[in-house]
């Protein structure tokens, strides 16, 4: 059996690639010892393909046959497979891996190039929300954000232009969180968390769109566990991309690109 492991800053993604089909699951990276014990017990002779910032922890302690792979190539290999299997046929695109932080890449001529990174990512979603509303559980925050309205928090272009016709869509955010300076009376915790989701989604989309504009690429692909079942962030990203003329793809199980790709690099 081949097992791919992407040990990230927050979550470890595991893909069991069995002939009967693939099994995908995730664990908190802090609990790596327990996971290694389980894998050594259940699959002592497996072929392990490990990648990600914390891969060395696994490479040292797994008893099977272990190979360590570079994270960016593994992720690109996995992403290509996932896109193909989802029948998404694009070959030139910008992709952003919105993990704990965000990694920015361009795909072209069947190769990827890492353009850079941003500290605005899934860790920001949790950390900033913890500061603002005292909650850091990801699923709870995702649920809470869906009940909010970030119009109470964010300043839009139309707020600045008033009765004048703006040269860009009035619904675009002019300044995340700046509406707070006009009126704080109606802001709920849900509004705040939705605004945090907006800040992250719009920031990473802006990075993607800006990189894309310099290369005439209209396809933006978002992966990473920050997007997992995160309807609010999906919606904001799609809407933002649409307003600015991009095609936004958020692929199902895209967060497993690294773990899957490690097996096939
Ligand atoms: P990096 O690639 O930056 O090293 P990573 O690979 O651990 O980090 P991902 O797994 O892609 O990153 O995404 C981590 C983010 O996913 C978290 O910051 C959080 O916003 C979100 N997330 C989704 N599910 C969970 C969960 N069960 N527990 C914690 N965070 C979660
Ligand atoms: Mg990662």
Domain shared by 150 and 246, yes or no: yes
Q: Where are the alpha helices (DSSP H) in the chain?
A: 32-42, 55-61, 71-85, 122-133, 138-146, 157-161, 189-215, 231-243, 257-264
Q: How far is the CA of 239 from the centre of ligand 2 (A)?
A: 25
Domain identity same for 56 and 149 = no
CA of 141 to the centre of ligand 1 (A): 13
Claim to verify: residue 63 and residue 127 sit in the same structural domain: no
**What is the pLDDT tens value at each position of the chain, 265 positions in all?**
999 999 999 999 999 999 899 999 999 999 999 999 999 999 999 999 999 999 999 999 999 999 999 999 999 999 999 999 999 999 999 999 999 999 999 999 999 999 999 999 999 999 999 999 999 999 999 999 999 999 999 999 999 999 999 999 899 999 999 999 988 888 999 999 999 999 999 999 999 999 999 999 999 999 999 999 999 999 999 999 999 999 999 999 999 999 999 999 9
Q: What is the pLDDT of residues 221-259, one digit of tens each?
A: 999 999 999 999 999 999 999 999 999 999 999 999 999
User: Is 190 a member of any domain?
Assistant: yes
Distance CA 263, CA 254 (A): 15
Distance of CA 123 from the midpoint of ligand 1 (Å):
7
Residue nearest to ligand 1 atom 17, measured at CA:
122
* Ligand 1 atom having least distance to the Cα of 100: 3
| Residue 170 and residue 53 share a domain | no
What's the CATH number where 61 sits? Answer: 3.30.420.40
Comparing CA positions, the residue from 63, 65, 87, 73 lying closest to residue 6 is 73
Instruction: Confirm if 124 and 200 have CB atoms less than 8 A apart.
Output: yes
Q: Whose CA is nearest to atom 3 of ligand 1?
A: 100
Structure tokens that stand for 28 in this block: 């908190």
Interstrand relation of 47-51 and 65-68 (parallel, antiparallel or unpaired): parallel
The domain in which residue 140 lies consists of 122-252
Per the domain annotation, does 93 fall within a domain? no
Dump pLDDT digits (tens) for 79-113.
999 999 999 999 999 999 999 999 999 999 999 99
φ, ψ of residue 163 in degrees (nearest 5): -80, -10
**Residue 261 falls within a domain, yes or no?**
no
**Residue 62, in any domain of the structure:** yes
13 in a structural domain: yes
9 lines ligand 1 (CB under 6 A): yes
Neighbours of 85 (CB within 10 A): 12
Q: How far is the CA of 157 from the centre of ligand 1 (A)?
A: 32
Same domain, 135 and 31: no
Alpha helices in 49-154 (DSSP H): 55-61, 71-85, 122-133, 138-146
Cβ 228 under 6 angstroms from ligand 1: yes
Quote the number of domains for the chain. 2
Task: Look at the chain and count its residues.
Answer: 265
- Provide the CB-side half-sphere exposure for 123 (13 A, CA): 13
Residue 21 class from Cβ within 10 Å (0-12 exposed, 13-18 middle, 19+ buried)?
exposed
Question: What integer best gives the mean pLDDT of the chain?
Answer: 97
Q: Whole-model pTM?
A: 0.96
Give the phi and the psi of residue 223 in degrees, each rounded to 5: -130, 175
Q: Which two tokens stand for residue 148?
A: 């909010």
Q: Measured from the CB, is residue 255 less than 6 Å from ligand 1?
A: yes
Q: Are residues 209 and 140 in the same domain?
A: yes
Instruction: Note whether 53 and 139 are same-domain residues.
Output: no
CA distances from 4 to 14, 45, 82, 214 (A): 6, 14, 14, 35
Predicted pLDDT at 186: 85
Same domain, 60 and 143: no
| Alpha-carbon radius of gyration of the chain | 20
Q: What is the largest CA-CA distance in the chain?
A: 69
Among all bound ligands, the one having the nearest atom to the CA of 128 is: 1
264 in a domain, yes or no?
no
Please indicate, yes or no, if residue 168 is contained in any of the structural domains.
Answer: yes
Q: Are residues 64 and 132 in the same domain?
A: no
Q: Looking at the domain assignment, is residue 29 inside a domain?
A: yes
Q: Same domain for 136 and 233?
A: yes
Residues 134, 244: one domain? yes
Residue with tokens 């958020």: 250
Same domain, 26 and 138: no
């Amino acid at each position: 059996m081949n097992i791919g492991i992407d040990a990230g800053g927050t979550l470890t993604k595991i893909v069991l690639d069995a002939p009967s089909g693939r099994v995908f699951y995730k664990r908190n990276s802090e609990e790596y010892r327990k996971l290694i014990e389980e894998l050594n017990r259940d699959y002592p002779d497996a072929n392990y393909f490990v990648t990600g910032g914390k891969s060395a922890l696994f490479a040292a302690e797994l008893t099977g046959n272990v190979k360590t792979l570079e994270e960016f190539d593994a992720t690109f290999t996995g992403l290509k497979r996932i896109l193909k299997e989802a029948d998404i046929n694009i070959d030139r695109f910008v992709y952003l891996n919105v993990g704990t932080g965000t990694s920015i890449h361009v795909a072209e001529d069947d190769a990827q190039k890492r353009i850079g990174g941003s500290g605005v990512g899934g860790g920001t979603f949790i950390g900033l929300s913890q500061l603002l509303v005292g909650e850091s559980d990801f699923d709870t925050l995702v649920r809470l954000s869906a009940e909010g309205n970030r119009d109470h928090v964010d300043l839009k272009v139309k707020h600045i232009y008033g009765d004048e016709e703006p040269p860009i869509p009035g619904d675009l955010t002019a300044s995340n969180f700046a509406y707070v300076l006009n009126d704080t009376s109606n802001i709920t915790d849900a509004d705040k968390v939705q605004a945090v989701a907006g800040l992250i989604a719009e920031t990473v989309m802006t990075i993607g769109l800006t990189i894309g504009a310099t290369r005439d690429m209209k396809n933006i692909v978002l992966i990473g566990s920050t997007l997992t079942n995160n309807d609010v962030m999906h919606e904001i990203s799609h809407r933002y991309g649409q307003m600015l003329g991009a095609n936004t793809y958020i692929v199902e199980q895209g967060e497993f690109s690294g773990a899957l790709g490690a097996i096939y690099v």
